[in-house]
Amino acid sequence: MEAPQQEKKSDHFFKEILKASLIAIIIVVPIRFYVAQPFVVSGASMDPTFESGHYLIVDQISYRFNEPERGEVVIFKFPEDPSKFFIKRIIGLPGEGVVARRGAVSIFNPLNPDGLELSETYLTPSNTTSDSFSIELGEDEYFVMGDNRRASSDSRIWGPLPRELIVGRAFLRALPVTQIGVLPGDFSELFTPLPIEIQN
């Protein structure tokens, strides 16, 4: 006489498990595809800011309301193979001119028609180069570079990054636990005043 009750309890248990699983899927899947997703850094192109194995959470929603800004670290689909994901720092914005002279990068735009040199204090002497180049960005194009200029495949090699390929920005570094932080690597103060020459 107890078997039917046990079967009812068992049915109820599995229905509750199924319901909880469906609710989890309904909540997690949209977040995973439209709000945030995990990203594991692979390679040395962003050393020392991000090292291989660092576990990041990518914010995919902010750029639906705001445009990417200079100094932000973004994750994007590689223009030459969209099945691959890259992580780099935004250096040049749409419509700007980006010029490097022996490794020092300057930005040319309406506010700085004579150019203004970037203050890239996140670079280390061992990661810099003596590159010289010049490029004009079109609408919806960004110039991105890795913090480890010696080991980075970036806009210097394959050209500007189209806006449509940007997935999101690095929002949270979850691992290693000793470096947990929000908006890791973002660096907004990239402009440094040019020295004023005083004539005697």
Tell me the catalytic residues. 45, 88
**DSSP 8-class letter at 86:** E
**DSSP 8-class letter at 70:** T
Instruction: Give the C-alpha separation, 9 to 193, whole Å.
Output: 73
Instruction: Name the CA dihedral angle for 187, 95, 129, 132, rounded to a multiple of 10 degrees.
Output: -160
64 burial type by CB count under 10 A (0-12 exposed, 13-18 middle, 19+ buried)? exposed
CB neighbour list of residue 63: distance below 8 Å, 6 or more residues apart: 166, 168, 169
Angle, alpha carbons 59-61-66 (nearest 5°): 105
